[in-house]
């Protein structure tokens, strides 16, 4: 087992296009389209799990760690919902973009260029977001172990990633990268996709139990993402730490 989860090739890939994070028509356009469903899923699940009832700031006082936060596409909405947000990313460029954008929007978010195993903090978080990141790290097992150490007992970890199926290869790589050109070619490597059962098995080792598992599907006609029972391409899972 490695003691480092940073995949230099992946970091370089995303650092090259870091300037585009906040351009809804740029290289991260698919993520901008993806964001509304992610935000509502996370928000509803946190509210229900922690029985929150603040109407104005629904996530008030919840400490969230956004791992692989990129330019802050998820950190910022979480902050606006009232959460205390920490965002970490192994790309210096991503973190700089995130810091500038948060400052411009007067949002208090703590950003640091680091990886979970190197993140020095006394804080244990209520919620950890691992969104579209596990398919880009060097050692998934070690990565998730490092993440779980940062989570409070009864805390929630959300993991969104791509299933390792023939369908995901056809749609997420051939379709999204080569045919529709939604993503730069080489964004994903099918070998690094993670089956839900493998994810569940790994996290069980670190006292994280699966609470819910949902598929996410893009509706071409409506041009938006929806939750779905089909987990064969994209899925999102919610784990609770025992």
Which tens digit of pLDDT belongs to each residue from 149-174? 999 999 999 999 999 999 999 988 99
Given a cut of 70, whether residue 2 has pLDDT beyond it is no
32, 119, 155, 203 from 211: Cα distances, Å: 26, 26, 12, 12
Long-range contacts (CB closer than 8 Å, 24 or more residues apart) made by 204-209: 205/145, 206/144, 206/145, 206/148, 206/149, 206/241, 207/148, 207/241, 207/242, 208/148, 208/151, 208/157, 208/239, 208/240, 208/241, 208/242, 209/239, 209/240, 209/242
Instruction: Judge whether 213 lies within some domain.
Output: yes
Res 3 pLDDT > 80: no
Range of the domain at 17: 8-241
CATH number at residue 164: 3.40.50.150
Residue 122 domain-assigned?
yes
Specify the number of domains making up the chain.
1
Which pTM does this prediction carry? 0.95
Q: What is the pLDDT of residues 50-87, one digit of tens each?
A: 999 999 999 999 999 999 999 999 999 999 999 999 99
């Amino acid at each position: 087992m490695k003691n480092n989860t940073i995949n230099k090739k992946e970091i370089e890939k995303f650092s090259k296009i870091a300037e585009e994070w906040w351009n809804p028509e740029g290289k991260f356009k698919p993520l901008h389209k993806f964001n509304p469903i992610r935000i509502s899923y996370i928000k509803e699940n946190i509210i229900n799990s922690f029985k929150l009832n603040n109407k104005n700031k629904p996530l008030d006082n919840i400490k969230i760690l956004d791992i692989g936060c990129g330019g802050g596409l998820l950190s910022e909405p979480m902050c606006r919902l009232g959460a205390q947000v920490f965002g970490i990313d192994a790309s210096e460029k991503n973190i700089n973009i995130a810091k500038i954008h948060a400052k411009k929007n007067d949002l208090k978010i703590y950003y640091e260029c680091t990886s979970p195993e190197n993140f020095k903090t006394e804080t244990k978080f209520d919620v950890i977001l691992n969104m579209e990141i596990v398919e880009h790290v060097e050692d998934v097992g070690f990565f998730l172990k490092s993440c779980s150490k940062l989570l409070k007992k009864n805390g929630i970890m959300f993991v969104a990633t791509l299933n390792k199926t023939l369908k995901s290869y056809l749609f997420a790589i051939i379709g999204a990268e080569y045919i529709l050109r939604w993503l730069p070619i080489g964004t994903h490597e099918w070998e690094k996709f993670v089956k839900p059962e493998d994810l569940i098995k790994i996290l069980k080792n670190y006292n994280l139990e699966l609470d819910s598992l949902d598929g996410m599907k893009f509706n071409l006609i409506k041009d938006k993402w929806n939750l779905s029972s089909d987990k064969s391409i994209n899925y999102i899972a919610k784990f609770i730490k025992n």
